[in-house]
Amino acid sequence: MEVLMPEPQICVERTLAIIKPDVIGKEEEIEDLILRSGFHIIQKRKLQLSPEQCSNFYAEQFGKLFFPNLTAYMSSGPIVAMVLARNCAVSYWKELLGPSNSLRARITHPHSLRALYGTDELRNGLHGSLSISSAEKEIRFIFPEAILEPVPTGQRARDYLNLYVKPTLLAALTALCKEKPADPM
């Protein structure tokens, strides 16, 4: 009888998470929720952004009415930035965050992080990348030393597994089978 195994998949994404200045005191509690939600914290750093750095980080929001308040808020104190990784990290993180308006989040997503830690639309407690491309850009901004290699998917992942992983495993398992341990227990 042949056992059918699913095709191996390498589908790990990274996203940026930021604990904003007004909820920095809840850092450990928030990190615990992140880890219990299946994320791995790949990198983490505590820093304080200048108003100019905040303007650059939120450049896509430039021209909107809330932009000056956003940059003032984000530069008002230290933040904790984390690179999170897991399958579909961007979408799962957005789901865990809930709506950007904390008041709306309390009604529609009462168990979301923004419902729990945010106070209003601007002070929503946490930041999350909107897409994979914005996550890469934001991670490079906060962690300029980070190496962001594209994660292979589809045929590239299968080719990598066939070329590098399977031969190594086969050789190691074959060698292991040829060795008879003196005392298996």
Residue positions annotated with a catalytic role:
127
Tokens of 179: 């060795």
Cβ atoms of residues 23 and 116 within 8 Å: no
134: left (phi over 0), alpha (psi -120 to 50) or beta: alpha
- The H or E element containing residue 46 is strand 40-47
For CA atoms 64, 24, 98, 124, give the dihedral sign. Answer: negative
